[in-house]
Chains A and B, each alone.
Chain A
Amino acid sequence: MSDPRFSDETLVAFVDGELDAQTRKTVEAALVSDGDIAARVTMFRQTRTRIRQAYAQDDAIPVPAGLKARIKDMVERDASREKDTITSPPEVIPFTPATGSGTSKRKPPARWIMPMAAAGAFVAVGIGGFFAGGAGQSPPQIDLNVAGLNVAGLDQPGIVPALESLASGQIIRIEGTGDRLRTIASYRDPAGSLCREFEVDETGHSSVVAVACVQNGIWRVQFSVSSGQISETGYAPASSLEALDAYLLAVGAGAPMSLDEEAAALSTLR
Protein backbone atom coordinates (compact mmCIF):
# COMPACT_ATOMS: atom_id res chain seq x y z
CA MET A 1 0.00 0.00 0.00
CA SER A 2 1.05 3.56 -0.48
CA ASP A 3 2.66 5.48 2.27
CA PRO A 4 0.12 7.75 3.92
CA ARG A 5 2.83 10.20 4.79
CA PHE A 6 2.86 11.47 1.26
CA SER A 7 -0.02 13.63 0.26
CA ASP A 8 -0.57 14.85 -3.28
CA GLU A 9 0.78 18.22 -2.20
CA THR A 10 4.05 16.63 -1.18
CA LEU A 11 4.34 14.57 -4.34
CA VAL A 12 3.55 17.52 -6.58
CA ALA A 13 6.10 19.61 -4.75
CA PHE A 14 8.58 16.79 -5.21
CA VAL A 15 8.01 16.80 -8.97
CA ASP A 16 8.27 20.58 -9.06
CA GLY A 17 11.51 20.62 -7.12
CA GLU A 18 10.00 22.48 -4.20
CA LEU A 19 10.77 20.08 -1.35
CA ASP A 20 13.51 20.55 1.19
CA ALA A 21 16.38 18.10 0.93
CA GLN A 22 15.25 15.92 3.81
CA THR A 23 11.70 15.41 2.56
CA ARG A 24 12.95 14.90 -0.98
CA LYS A 25 15.15 12.03 0.16
CA THR A 26 12.24 10.43 1.99
CA VAL A 27 10.09 10.59 -1.14
CA GLU A 28 12.90 9.20 -3.28
CA ALA A 29 13.22 6.26 -0.93
CA ALA A 30 9.49 5.66 -1.01
CA LEU A 31 9.47 5.74 -4.82
CA VAL A 32 11.61 2.65 -4.91
CA SER A 33 9.46 0.62 -2.60
CA ASP A 34 5.96 1.90 -3.32
CA GLY A 35 4.56 1.45 -6.80
CA ASP A 36 1.51 3.53 -6.06
CA ILE A 37 3.60 6.54 -5.09
CA ALA A 38 5.77 6.04 -8.14
CA ALA A 39 2.67 5.99 -10.36
CA ARG A 40 1.34 9.17 -8.82
CA VAL A 41 4.67 10.91 -9.19
CA THR A 42 4.73 9.86 -12.84
CA MET A 43 1.24 11.23 -13.32
CA PHE A 44 2.15 14.56 -11.75
CA ARG A 45 5.28 14.75 -13.86
CA GLN A 46 3.32 14.01 -17.03
CA THR A 47 0.80 16.73 -16.33
CA ARG A 48 3.58 19.26 -15.97
CA THR A 49 5.33 18.10 -19.13
CA ARG A 50 2.22 18.03 -21.26
CA ILE A 51 0.94 21.39 -20.11
CA ARG A 52 4.29 22.95 -20.78
CA GLN A 53 4.48 21.37 -24.21
CA ALA A 54 1.01 22.54 -25.11
CA TYR A 55 1.59 26.16 -24.20
CA ALA A 56 5.26 26.81 -24.48
CA GLN A 57 5.74 26.03 -28.14
CA ASP A 58 6.89 29.11 -29.93
CA ASP A 59 3.89 29.24 -32.21
CA ALA A 60 1.26 27.89 -29.85
CA ILE A 61 -0.04 31.34 -28.99
CA PRO A 62 1.53 33.99 -31.19
CA VAL A 63 1.25 37.56 -29.97
CA PRO A 64 -1.04 39.47 -32.33
CA ALA A 65 1.04 41.70 -34.58
CA GLY A 66 -1.06 44.74 -33.82
CA LEU A 67 -0.60 44.32 -30.10
CA LYS A 68 3.12 43.86 -30.43
CA ALA A 69 3.40 46.99 -32.56
CA ARG A 70 1.46 49.03 -30.04
CA ILE A 71 3.65 47.90 -27.16
CA LYS A 72 6.83 48.57 -29.12
CA ASP A 73 5.60 52.03 -29.89
CA MET A 74 4.77 52.56 -26.23
CA VAL A 75 8.24 51.43 -25.17
CA GLU A 76 9.94 53.67 -27.72
CA ARG A 77 8.00 56.71 -26.65
CA ASP A 78 8.80 55.93 -23.04
CA ALA A 79 12.49 55.62 -23.85
CA SER A 80 12.58 58.91 -25.73
CA ARG A 81 10.90 60.67 -22.84
CA GLU A 82 13.49 59.23 -20.49
CA LYS A 83 16.25 60.54 -22.71
CA ASP A 84 14.83 64.01 -22.50
CA THR A 85 14.89 63.66 -18.72
CA ILE A 86 11.52 65.27 -18.55
CA THR A 87 9.23 64.24 -15.79
CA SER A 88 6.81 62.09 -17.64
CA PRO A 89 3.34 63.40 -18.24
CA PRO A 90 0.61 60.81 -18.17
CA GLU A 91 0.50 58.61 -21.23
CA VAL A 92 -2.77 57.60 -22.75
CA ILE A 93 -3.14 54.90 -25.29
CA PRO A 94 -6.78 54.62 -26.21
CA PHE A 95 -7.94 51.21 -27.25
CA THR A 96 -8.75 52.28 -30.75
CA PRO A 97 -9.75 49.64 -33.26
CA ALA A 98 -6.90 48.24 -35.28
CA THR A 99 -8.56 49.29 -38.49
CA GLY A 100 -10.86 52.05 -39.50
CA SER A 101 -13.62 49.71 -40.46
CA GLY A 102 -16.36 48.16 -38.46
CA THR A 103 -18.05 49.34 -35.36
CA SER A 104 -16.49 51.05 -32.42
CA LYS A 105 -14.86 48.78 -29.91
CA ARG A 106 -14.71 51.42 -27.27
CA LYS A 107 -16.36 51.24 -23.97
CA PRO A 108 -19.98 52.12 -23.35
CA PRO A 109 -20.76 55.77 -22.64
CA ALA A 110 -20.47 55.69 -18.89
CA ARG A 111 -16.90 54.52 -19.17
CA TRP A 112 -15.98 55.57 -22.63
CA ILE A 113 -12.71 57.11 -21.67
CA MET A 114 -10.12 54.47 -21.35
CA PRO A 115 -8.87 54.42 -17.77
CA MET A 116 -5.98 56.80 -18.03
CA ALA A 117 -3.15 55.94 -15.76
CA ALA A 118 -2.77 59.54 -14.84
CA ALA A 119 -1.94 60.30 -11.30
CA GLY A 120 -2.02 63.19 -8.98
CA ALA A 121 -4.51 65.89 -8.33
CA PHE A 122 -6.62 67.05 -11.20
CA VAL A 123 -7.65 70.63 -11.07
CA ALA A 124 -10.27 72.13 -13.27
CA VAL A 125 -8.59 75.11 -14.83
CA GLY A 126 -11.15 76.58 -17.08
CA ILE A 127 -14.52 76.06 -18.59
CA GLY A 128 -16.02 78.09 -21.34
CA GLY A 129 -12.94 79.15 -23.23
CA PHE A 130 -13.19 79.08 -26.96
CA PHE A 131 -11.12 78.83 -30.02
CA ALA A 132 -11.99 81.86 -32.07
CA GLY A 133 -11.70 81.07 -35.71
CA GLY A 134 -11.66 77.37 -36.26
CA ALA A 135 -13.82 75.72 -38.81
CA GLY A 136 -13.71 77.42 -42.15
CA GLN A 137 -11.43 80.24 -41.07
CA SER A 138 -7.76 80.64 -41.64
CA PRO A 139 -5.49 80.91 -39.87
CA PRO A 140 -7.22 79.66 -36.76
CA GLN A 141 -7.01 82.03 -33.86
CA ILE A 142 -6.90 81.02 -30.29
CA ASP A 143 -8.27 83.15 -27.53
CA LEU A 144 -8.52 81.39 -24.28
CA ASN A 145 -8.19 84.19 -21.83
CA VAL A 146 -11.41 83.83 -19.99
CA ALA A 147 -12.01 86.44 -17.33
CA GLY A 148 -8.28 86.78 -16.93
CA LEU A 149 -7.62 83.07 -16.67
CA ASN A 150 -5.57 81.40 -19.32
CA VAL A 151 -6.70 77.92 -20.17
CA ALA A 152 -3.37 76.31 -19.70
CA GLY A 153 -1.75 74.70 -22.65
CA LEU A 154 -4.54 75.31 -25.12
CA ASP A 155 -3.51 78.68 -26.52
CA GLN A 156 -1.56 77.28 -29.41
CA PRO A 157 -2.29 77.79 -33.09
CA GLY A 158 -1.75 74.16 -34.10
CA ILE A 159 -4.62 72.79 -32.07
CA VAL A 160 -7.65 73.62 -34.19
CA PRO A 161 -6.29 72.17 -37.44
CA ALA A 162 -5.38 69.03 -35.54
CA LEU A 163 -8.86 68.73 -34.07
CA GLU A 164 -10.31 69.04 -37.52
CA SER A 165 -8.15 66.46 -39.16
CA LEU A 166 -6.57 64.02 -36.74
CA ALA A 167 -8.23 60.65 -36.17
CA SER A 168 -8.59 59.63 -32.56
CA GLY A 169 -5.66 57.80 -31.07
CA GLN A 170 -3.06 59.81 -32.95
CA ILE A 171 -0.36 62.10 -31.67
CA ILE A 172 1.22 65.12 -33.30
CA ARG A 173 3.87 67.50 -32.16
CA ILE A 174 2.66 71.06 -32.28
CA GLU A 175 4.86 73.27 -34.39
CA GLY A 176 6.88 75.85 -32.59
CA THR A 177 6.33 74.70 -29.03
CA GLY A 178 7.20 71.03 -29.25
CA ASP A 179 4.15 70.23 -27.16
CA ARG A 180 2.30 67.08 -28.08
CA LEU A 181 -1.35 66.81 -28.88
CA ARG A 182 -3.16 63.53 -28.73
CA THR A 183 -6.69 63.07 -29.94
CA ILE A 184 -8.58 60.70 -27.71
CA ALA A 185 -12.17 60.38 -28.88
CA SER A 186 -15.02 62.07 -30.68
CA TYR A 187 -18.70 62.14 -29.87
CA ARG A 188 -21.77 64.28 -30.32
CA ASP A 189 -23.39 66.19 -27.52
CA PRO A 190 -27.17 66.09 -27.11
CA ALA A 191 -27.48 69.12 -29.43
CA GLY A 192 -25.67 67.18 -32.13
CA SER A 193 -22.47 69.23 -32.00
CA LEU A 194 -19.27 67.43 -32.78
CA CYS A 195 -17.06 67.22 -29.69
CA ARG A 196 -13.53 65.96 -29.33
CA GLU A 197 -11.61 64.94 -26.30
CA PHE A 198 -7.89 65.52 -26.55
CA GLU A 199 -4.80 65.87 -24.50
CA VAL A 200 -1.99 68.38 -24.74
CA ASP A 201 1.32 67.57 -23.09
CA GLU A 202 3.18 70.75 -22.43
CA THR A 203 6.88 70.22 -22.70
CA GLY A 204 8.27 70.09 -19.19
CA HIS A 205 4.91 70.71 -17.60
CA SER A 206 1.83 68.80 -16.75
CA SER A 207 -0.65 67.78 -19.40
CA VAL A 208 -4.12 69.07 -20.04
CA VAL A 209 -7.08 66.96 -20.99
CA ALA A 210 -9.87 68.89 -22.62
CA VAL A 211 -13.15 68.54 -24.44
CA ALA A 212 -13.98 71.02 -27.19
CA CYS A 213 -17.11 71.16 -29.33
CA VAL A 214 -17.87 72.92 -32.58
CA GLN A 215 -20.63 75.45 -32.12
CA ASN A 216 -21.54 77.65 -35.06
CA GLY A 217 -18.24 76.90 -36.68
CA ILE A 218 -16.20 77.76 -33.61
CA TRP A 219 -14.39 75.32 -31.40
CA ARG A 220 -15.27 75.98 -27.80
CA VAL A 221 -13.56 74.39 -24.87
CA GLN A 222 -16.25 72.79 -22.75
CA PHE A 223 -14.07 71.24 -20.15
CA SER A 224 -10.43 70.98 -19.29
CA VAL A 225 -8.44 69.48 -16.49
CA SER A 226 -4.77 69.90 -15.80
CA SER A 227 -3.06 66.84 -14.46
CA GLY A 228 -0.43 67.00 -11.77
CA GLN A 229 2.85 65.22 -12.04
CA ILE A 230 2.79 61.51 -12.33
CA SER A 231 3.28 59.72 -9.05
CA GLU A 232 6.50 58.00 -8.12
CA THR A 233 4.93 54.59 -8.12
CA GLY A 234 3.19 55.14 -11.41
CA TYR A 235 0.21 53.20 -10.20
CA ALA A 236 -2.37 55.75 -11.02
CA PRO A 237 -6.00 55.02 -10.32
CA ALA A 238 -8.41 55.20 -13.19
CA SER A 239 -10.51 57.40 -10.95
CA SER A 240 -8.15 60.29 -11.62
CA LEU A 241 -10.42 61.41 -14.40
CA GLU A 242 -13.62 61.02 -12.50
CA ALA A 243 -14.28 64.70 -12.99
CA LEU A 244 -14.19 64.25 -16.74
CA ASP A 245 -16.37 61.17 -16.55
CA ALA A 246 -18.83 63.06 -14.40
CA TYR A 247 -18.86 65.90 -16.89
CA LEU A 248 -19.48 63.59 -19.83
CA LEU A 249 -22.24 61.88 -17.96
CA ALA A 250 -23.78 65.15 -16.91
CA VAL A 251 -23.93 66.62 -20.41
CA GLY A 252 -25.25 63.39 -21.87
CA ALA A 253 -22.29 62.77 -24.13
CA GLY A 254 -23.00 60.17 -26.74
CA ALA A 255 -20.96 57.04 -27.23
CA PRO A 256 -17.59 57.63 -28.84
CA MET A 257 -17.70 57.43 -32.61
CA SER A 258 -16.04 54.70 -34.56
CA LEU A 259 -13.15 55.90 -36.68
CA ASP A 260 -15.38 55.76 -39.75
CA GLU A 261 -18.07 57.86 -38.13
CA GLU A 262 -15.45 60.25 -36.90
CA ALA A 263 -13.85 60.63 -40.33
CA ALA A 264 -17.27 61.40 -41.83
CA ALA A 265 -18.00 63.98 -39.13
CA LEU A 266 -14.62 65.66 -39.56
CA SER A 267 -15.02 65.84 -43.31
CA THR A 268 -18.04 68.09 -42.85
CA LEU A 269 -15.81 70.67 -41.16
CA ARG A 270 -13.53 71.12 -44.09
Chain B
Amino acid sequence: MTLDFGQQLIDFLPNLHRFALSLCRSGDIANDLVQETCEKALKSQHGFEAGTRLDAWLFKILRNCWIDRLRRTKTRGTTIDITEAPDIVGTDGTRTMESRLMLNATAMAMDRLPDDYREVLLLVCVEELSYAQTALVLDVPVGTVMSRLARARVKISQLMGIETVSARSSDKSGSQP
Protein backbone atom coordinates (compact mmCIF):
# COMPACT_ATOMS: atom_id res chain seq x y z
CA MET B 1 0.00 0.00 0.00
CA THR B 2 2.81 2.32 0.95
CA LEU B 3 4.82 1.65 -2.16
CA ASP B 4 1.75 2.32 -4.24
CA PHE B 5 1.07 5.48 -2.33
CA GLY B 6 4.65 6.66 -2.78
CA GLN B 7 4.60 5.86 -6.46
CA GLN B 8 1.34 7.67 -6.89
CA LEU B 9 2.86 10.63 -5.15
CA ILE B 10 5.83 10.63 -7.51
CA ASP B 11 3.59 10.22 -10.53
CA PHE B 12 1.57 13.18 -9.35
CA LEU B 13 4.56 15.50 -8.93
CA PRO B 14 4.01 17.34 -12.23
CA ASN B 15 0.48 18.21 -11.16
CA LEU B 16 1.53 19.33 -7.69
CA HIS B 17 4.38 21.37 -9.06
CA ARG B 18 2.12 22.98 -11.64
CA PHE B 19 -0.46 23.88 -9.03
CA ALA B 20 2.21 25.17 -6.66
CA LEU B 21 3.62 27.44 -9.36
CA SER B 22 0.19 28.76 -10.19
CA LEU B 23 -0.31 29.68 -6.54
CA CYS B 24 3.02 31.25 -5.67
CA ARG B 25 4.54 31.98 -9.09
CA SER B 26 8.04 31.44 -7.83
CA GLY B 27 10.13 28.43 -8.72
CA ASP B 28 11.86 28.18 -5.36
CA ILE B 29 8.74 28.59 -3.29
CA ALA B 30 6.89 26.10 -5.49
CA ASN B 31 9.62 23.54 -4.84
CA ASP B 32 9.35 24.12 -1.11
CA LEU B 33 5.58 23.79 -1.23
CA VAL B 34 5.73 20.52 -3.14
CA GLN B 35 8.30 19.09 -0.77
CA GLU B 36 6.31 20.12 2.27
CA THR B 37 3.17 18.66 0.74
CA CYS B 38 4.85 15.33 0.07
CA GLU B 39 6.19 15.16 3.59
CA LYS B 40 2.76 15.74 5.05
CA ALA B 41 1.13 13.34 2.63
CA LEU B 42 3.56 10.55 3.48
CA LYS B 43 3.08 11.10 7.17
CA SER B 44 -0.68 11.10 6.95
CA GLN B 45 -1.11 8.52 4.22
CA HIS B 46 -2.87 6.17 6.60
CA GLY B 47 -5.41 8.89 7.26
CA PHE B 48 -6.20 9.12 3.57
CA GLU B 49 -9.62 7.66 2.94
CA ALA B 50 -9.50 5.02 0.26
CA GLY B 51 -12.14 5.72 -2.33
CA THR B 52 -11.67 9.45 -2.23
CA ARG B 53 -9.54 11.08 -4.85
CA LEU B 54 -5.89 11.34 -4.04
CA ASP B 55 -5.38 14.30 -6.35
CA ALA B 56 -7.92 16.51 -4.60
CA TRP B 57 -6.51 15.49 -1.24
CA LEU B 58 -2.98 16.38 -2.28
CA PHE B 59 -4.02 19.68 -3.81
CA LYS B 60 -5.75 20.56 -0.59
CA ILE B 61 -2.64 19.80 1.46
CA LEU B 62 -0.55 21.89 -0.89
CA ARG B 63 -2.95 24.80 -0.79
CA ASN B 64 -3.03 24.65 3.00
CA CYS B 65 0.76 24.72 3.02
CA TRP B 66 0.63 27.82 0.87
CA ILE B 67 -1.93 29.52 3.09
CA ASP B 68 0.13 28.66 6.17
CA ARG B 69 3.15 30.12 4.50
CA LEU B 70 1.31 33.31 3.64
CA ARG B 71 0.13 33.62 7.20
CA ARG B 72 3.60 33.04 8.57
CA THR B 73 5.56 35.23 6.26
CA LYS B 74 2.95 37.50 4.77
CA THR B 75 4.56 36.89 1.44
CA ARG B 76 1.55 37.88 -0.53
CA GLY B 77 2.48 41.54 -0.39
CA THR B 78 5.93 40.84 -1.70
CA THR B 79 5.30 37.99 -4.06
CA ILE B 80 7.31 38.70 -7.13
CA ASP B 81 5.62 38.39 -10.43
CA ILE B 82 7.70 36.01 -12.46
CA THR B 83 6.96 37.94 -15.64
CA GLU B 84 8.39 41.08 -14.10
CA ALA B 85 11.40 39.42 -12.56
CA PRO B 86 12.52 36.65 -14.84
CA ASP B 87 15.76 36.29 -12.90
CA ILE B 88 13.91 35.01 -9.87
CA VAL B 89 14.00 31.38 -10.70
CA GLY B 90 14.74 28.13 -9.00
CA THR B 91 18.08 26.50 -8.62
CA ASP B 92 17.37 23.61 -10.89
CA GLY B 93 16.33 24.75 -14.26
CA THR B 94 13.05 26.45 -13.64
CA ARG B 95 14.14 29.42 -15.73
CA THR B 96 13.74 27.39 -18.89
CA MET B 97 10.38 26.18 -17.77
CA GLU B 98 8.93 29.54 -16.96
CA SER B 99 10.14 31.27 -20.05
CA ARG B 100 8.80 28.50 -22.21
CA LEU B 101 5.49 28.62 -20.45
CA MET B 102 5.33 32.36 -20.62
CA LEU B 103 5.77 32.30 -24.37
CA ASN B 104 2.35 30.83 -24.38
CA ALA B 105 -0.34 33.52 -24.67
CA THR B 106 -2.76 31.52 -22.60
CA ALA B 107 -0.32 31.16 -19.75
CA MET B 108 0.40 34.89 -19.92
CA ALA B 109 -3.28 35.61 -19.66
CA MET B 110 -3.59 33.20 -16.74
CA ASP B 111 -0.79 35.02 -15.02
CA ARG B 112 -2.70 38.27 -15.18
CA LEU B 113 -5.75 36.86 -13.46
CA PRO B 114 -6.52 37.31 -9.77
CA ASP B 115 -5.26 34.40 -7.69
CA ASP B 116 -8.67 32.96 -6.95
CA TYR B 117 -9.54 32.91 -10.64
CA ARG B 118 -6.29 31.26 -11.62
CA GLU B 119 -6.51 28.48 -9.08
CA VAL B 120 -10.08 27.55 -9.94
CA LEU B 121 -9.27 27.49 -13.65
CA LEU B 122 -6.26 25.28 -13.08
CA LEU B 123 -8.12 22.80 -10.92
CA VAL B 124 -11.11 22.49 -13.26
CA CYS B 125 -9.69 23.01 -16.74
CA VAL B 126 -6.23 21.48 -16.35
CA GLU B 127 -6.49 19.05 -13.47
CA GLU B 128 -10.07 18.18 -14.41
CA LEU B 129 -11.41 18.06 -10.91
CA SER B 130 -15.16 18.09 -10.56
CA TYR B 131 -16.82 21.16 -9.09
CA ALA B 132 -17.42 19.25 -5.87
CA GLN B 133 -13.77 18.25 -5.57
CA THR B 134 -12.66 21.76 -6.43
CA ALA B 135 -14.95 23.13 -3.73
CA LEU B 136 -13.30 20.73 -1.30
CA VAL B 137 -9.80 21.84 -2.24
CA LEU B 138 -10.66 25.53 -2.10
CA ASP B 139 -12.84 25.16 0.96
CA VAL B 140 -15.73 27.10 -0.57
CA PRO B 141 -19.29 26.13 -1.56
CA VAL B 142 -19.84 24.64 -5.01
CA GLY B 143 -21.83 27.74 -5.96
CA THR B 144 -18.76 29.86 -5.38
CA VAL B 145 -16.71 27.57 -7.57
CA MET B 146 -19.28 28.01 -10.34
CA SER B 147 -19.47 31.78 -10.12
CA ARG B 148 -15.70 32.18 -9.92
CA LEU B 149 -15.24 29.85 -12.81
CA ALA B 150 -17.72 31.72 -14.97
CA ARG B 151 -16.17 35.10 -14.22
CA ALA B 152 -12.67 33.74 -14.70
CA ARG B 153 -13.55 32.22 -18.06
CA VAL B 154 -15.11 35.48 -19.27
CA LYS B 155 -12.09 37.43 -18.07
CA ILE B 156 -9.50 35.18 -19.64
CA SER B 157 -11.38 35.00 -22.92
CA GLN B 158 -11.15 38.79 -23.04
CA LEU B 159 -7.45 38.73 -22.21
CA MET B 160 -6.84 36.12 -24.87
CA GLY B 161 -9.01 37.85 -27.40
CA ILE B 162 -11.20 34.84 -27.94
CA GLU B 163 -14.28 36.97 -28.01
CA THR B 164 -15.38 40.24 -26.53
CA VAL B 165 -18.01 39.27 -24.08
CA SER B 166 -19.45 40.79 -21.03
CA ALA B 167 -20.40 38.72 -18.05
CA ARG B 168 -23.99 37.95 -17.51
CA SER B 169 -25.66 38.10 -14.22
CA SER B 170 -25.86 34.81 -12.48
CA ASP B 171 -28.82 32.54 -12.26
CA LYS B 172 -32.01 34.07 -11.09
CA SER B 173 -32.07 31.28 -8.58
CA GLY B 174 -28.96 32.81 -7.08
CA SER B 175 -26.78 29.78 -6.90
CA GLN B 176 -23.67 31.42 -5.57
CA PRO B 177 -22.56 33.92 -3.02
A9-67 contacts to B, CB under 8 A, are: 9-13, 16, 18, 39-40, 43-44, 46-48, 50-56, 59-67
Q: A78-B2, A234-B46, A234-B47 are in contact. Are A67 and B170 (CB under 8 A)?
A: no
Q: Kindly list chain B residues whose C-beta atoms are within 8 Å of the C-beta of A59.
A: 100
Annotate A209-232 by CB proximity to B: 1 below 8 A, 0 otherwise: 000000000000000000000101
Closest to A101 in B: B91
Q: Kindly list chain A residues whose C-beta atoms are within 8 Å of the C-beta of B79.
A: none
Q: Kindly list chain A residues whose C-beta atoms are within 8 Å of the C-beta of B75.
A: none
Q: For the complex, is A175 an interface residue (Cβ under 8 Å from B)?
A: no
Chain B binding surface, main DSSP class: helix
The segment from A88-96, A131-139, A163-171, A252-260 found at the interface with B is A88-96
Bound form: Cα–Cα A59–B17 in Å: 13
Q: For the complex, is B90 an interface residue (Cβ under 8 Å from A)?
A: yes
- B122→A55 contact, CB < 8 A: yes
The segment from A68-76, A120-128, A184-192 found at the interface with B is A68-76
Bound form: Cα–Cα A123–B122 in Å: 44
Chain A binding surface, main DSSP class: helix
B108-133 contacts to A, CB under 8 A, are: 110, 121-122, 124-126, 128, 130-131
Chain B residues packing against A (C-beta within 8 Å): 2-3, 6-7, 9-10, 13-14, 17-18, 21, 27-28, 31-32, 34-36, 38-40, 42-47, 68, 72, 90-94, 97, 100-101, 104, 106-107, 110, 121-122, 124-126, 128, 130-131, 146-147, 149-151, 153-154, 156-157, 160, 162-163, 165, 167-172, 175-176
Which 6 A-B pairs rank lowest in CB-CB distance, beginning with the nearest?
A234-B43, A234-B44, A75-B6, A8-B150, A54-B106, A64-B92
Could you jot down 27 A-B contacts, CB within 8 Å?
A: A8-B151, A9-B146, A9-B147, A12-B146, A13-B146, A16-B149, A43-B157, A47-B162, A51-B121, A55-B18, A60-B100, A61-B14, A61-B101, A66-B31, A66-B91, A66-B92, A67-B34, A71-B34, A74-B42, A78-B42, A88-B43, A97-B91, A98-B92, A105-B91, A117-B43, A234-B43, A234-B47
